[in-house]
Amino acid sequence: MRRLRKVKIVATLGPASNTYEMIRTLHEAGADVFRLNMSHGTHDDITKMHRLIRQVEKDLDSPIAILADLQGPKLRVGEFANKEEELEWGETFRLDLDPAPGTKKRVCLPHPEIFAALGVGAHLLVNDGKIRLRVEECGKDFANCVVEAGGTISNRKGVNVPDVLLPLAALSEKDRKDLEFAAALGVDWLALSFVQRPEDVIEARKLADGRAAILSKIEKPSAVKSFAEILEVSDGVMVARGDLGVELPVHSVPPIQKQLIRMCRKAGKPVIVATQMLESMIESPMPTRAEVSDVATAIYEGADAVMLSAESAAGQYPVEAVTTMNNTAIAVENDPTYTEVMEASRNIDKKSIADGIVAAAREIAESGNIKVICCFTSSGTTVAKVARERPRVPIIAMTSLRGTARRLSLTWGVNCVMTGELERFKQAVVNAARAARAQGYAGTEDQIVVTAGVPFNMPGTTNILRVAPCNERLIYTTDPE
């Protein structure tokens, strides 16, 4: 399905959007990737939504990526005798391993690994950072704290520990089961929560065993510090601004977002900007102007995708939310400033023949009257390199592998078209011309750029660039076999 924009839209499915009719409507409105949140719903629920997405994909003949988002370890306090207590600034409060019901002075924190990592001066944030505690004294089974920001603390509220690297794996036992289930089901991307170090990603990749691409969620300060190493072992990244804004000062999140996007662009790996992008549309059919500006900013920065969470999963206006993102993206990308920003921020190290070919493809397309760049690919690597160039013209990814087409649905500017296995380059050029015409990118009088690797169907062999006519008769009379 041809889009009139290059940035992609990720929509989370949930109670408001778990029917065939709604999933199809969301895809037609602009959703390119559907996110399945493993924190909510049973495996039966996830299986049903996966089946419905694949049915929509088949009916519309349009590759769709499915992203399974793993929950990650959840750190929570225990329960209170009175269900909740009010903590005041300057008071002392104790966290310990005692399972007895909590009081105004203490509560159980059933995570000995936290106490093992804490030091004096470290902070603990409770209930999405609304309550802030500073450690005054600690041991292997307790932490005596002073309240720096008070509020209501109640049963099972979440805890964040921003100042230390926790000796916790990114994958809990539940996550391991969910990962195996999702990979066996056939999702295209696995989003890994609670990433702190590259080893977390390596472990998930080993468990996935090539069945799905790994996307690292950057939501902890330790992940920001180790981002270069994490990016190197990841297939993609999600800038999870919600948790980042809890564990880091909120004013530090915008520059971090910009830095991470630029690093992902340089590496040629897709990056999603997520969390609270159109939050008010959970209950309102219209977004705020600030929210639209937030979406636009992520697009101007060069993000591959922007994401809806509760807006499409549980909100009252999921279609309107997708439509708002779609229209915002079109408006931004039609602004000449957007093209200037993309070209000014291009920062690519050319280290291979494929790097040189895709750079030449972009330059030829932009300097001549070329309508589209068509890339034949088996792994998707060359297409990612073309997208990294942020060309002014559209990109068509031609592949015989459905899984590759689906994964590329997350990559900036890429429109995926299925093709049969090829043996001759001339037939590849003919197929590219047909796809360009069928998708409405070019007519018979136009020219296209074609990149491919010979021999075909071997990853990493991109070695041909061809400027070709869209007129098949001219291809057959001028092109080599």
Active-site choice (3, 48, 74, 76): 76
Catalytic-residue membership of 35: yes
Q: How, if at all, do strands 92-96 and 106-108 pair?
A: parallel
Annotated active-site residue 217? The verdict is yes
**Partners of residue 479 on adjacent β-strands:** none
Query: Sheet holding 123-126: strands in order across?
Result: 106-108, 92-96, 142-149, 131-139, 123-126, 159-160
Classified as helix, coil or strand, 94 is: strand
- Which one from 5, 94, 205, 217 is the annotated catalytic residue? 217
Catalytic residue among 5, 6, 8, 35: 35
Q: Phi-psi region for residue 83, left (φ > 0), alpha (ψ -120 to 50) or beta? A: left
CB count in 10 Å sphere of residue 164:
17
Note if 275 is an active site residue.
Answer: yes
**10-to-55, 151, 322 alpha-carbon distances in Å:** 18, 35, 9
Q: Cα–Cα distances in Å, from 147 out to 7, 85, 93, 134, 160?
A: 44, 13, 7, 7, 15
Q: Which amino acid is at 254?
A: P
Catalytic residue among 6, 265, 275, 437: 275
User: Strand 189-192 to strand 213-218: parallel, antiparallel, or no bridges (unpaired)?
Assistant: parallel
Nearest to 197 by CA among 160, 232, 222: 222
> Mind telling me the catalytic residues?
35, 76, 217, 275
